[in-house]
Amino acid sequence: MKAGIQVENLKKYFPVQKSFLEALISRKTEYVKAVDGITFKINPKEIFGLVGESGSGKTTTGKLVIRLLEPTDGKVMFDGINIFELDQEELRKFRKRMQIIFQDATASLNPRMTVGEAVKHPLEIHEIGDEKERKEMVFEALEKVGLSPPEAFYNKYPHQLSGGQRQRVCFARAIILNPEFIVADEPIAMIDVSLRAQIMDLMLKLRNERNVTFLYITHDLATAKYICDKIAIMYLGKIVEIGEREEFYNDPQHPYTVALLSSVPIPDPKYRPKKILPKGEIPSPINPPSGCRFHPRCPIATKKCSQEEPTLKPISKTHYVACHYPGKITLS
């Protein structure tokens, strides 16, 4: 992949389902603004972390980036091609180059298909190899994700596996086509702690040996620090901060980023950073706050924050923040 992934002004609004009576009373259509005008770039061979609370729009972004959802607006350039302009046949062929690992492994596996059938299915769709070659490729993929010996798992059904094993089957299915780009949506959330490092090391190995680019979606800043080259923080459909890993963790600028980092446990009894807890709950994406969307929960918000929406502005060549008062809150 030469040009990586370029996301430009991406939006996804879902219409709110109303009852018959509500529709009669109010004819105005309301929308859940799940993703509301985000722009970012993922360089080739990069592991790009997208971090935020539940409901911030991370998973919707991941699905849009590989066109599992159609956008309300914006475009995604994949190796210089706008994937939203591809027709269905072109998109079908293009799918071999991009894959996704879903967060809910149970829901993403067909309960009527064995592990072998599920992992082999992409090879059948794209007519790769004969039956013997496909079985060998399935064994190889299962070995890579730690399901060993693969013969013991090949004929099992999803309900016969643990949650972590099912997640690894999803990982094997994603990598069997040797894709150039993978959206990993919380890929280690359901895996035993002892195996998380193995899966993350596999991602690093795929990046280094096969030049695979990743969009790594997570709420865990600790694992993001271990695996990501660049990190973006998402809040209520907007990206509020983007930075290279070192500057992001050493010099966070947005109050929301600082709050998230202050909650990450540090294995040092002498290190006691102050806890910065946002006020209240994340607002509704149907009627998001005016101005800065974080201002109702921000400890340093002013009248300007409620009236003017901040845009992503550079702090350095690789560090951007959407805040009227960047750097005013620190971890120390």
Decide: residue 219, CB within 10 A, 0-12 exposed, 13-18 middle, 19+ buried: middle
Q: Which residues, listed in sequence order, are joined to residue 183 by a DSSP beta bridge?
A: 100, 215
pLDDT given at position 1: 46
Q: Are 260 and 209 in contact (CB under 8 A)?
A: no
Give CA–CA dist 307/310, Å, rounded. Answer: 10
45-84 confidence digits (pLDDT tens):
999 999 998 889 999 999 999 999 999 999 999 988 999 9
Strand order in the sheet with 98-101: 98-101, 181-185, 213-218, 47-51, 230-235, 238-244, 320-321, 313-314
Residue 82's nearest CA partner among 3, 189, 168, 195 is 3
CA distance 295 to 260: 16
Cis peptide before 285, with omega less than 30 degrees from 0? no
Write down the mean pLDDT value for the chain: 89
Asked which of 6-15, 33-42, 108-117, 194-203 is least confident by mean pLDDT, the reply is 194-203
* pTM exceeding 0.95: no
Written in H, E and C, the secondary structure of 182-240 is: EEEECCCCCCCHHHHHHHHHHHHHHHHHHCCEEEEEECCHHHHHHHCCEEEEEECCEEE
- pLDDT category, 21, cuts 50, 70, 90? low
34 contacts 11 by C-beta, under 8 angstroms: no
Can you tell me the distance from the alpha carbon of 8 to that of 12, in angstroms, rounded to the nearest whole number? 12
Domains (range + CATH), the chain:
5-235 (3.40.50.300)
d(CA 12, CA 240): 17
Contact between 132 and 163 under an 8 Å Cβ cutoff? The reply is no
The arithmetic mean of pLDDT across residues 220-243, rounded, is: 94
282-325 pLDDT, tens digit per residue, is: 888 888 999 999 999 998 999 999 999 999 999 999 999 999 99
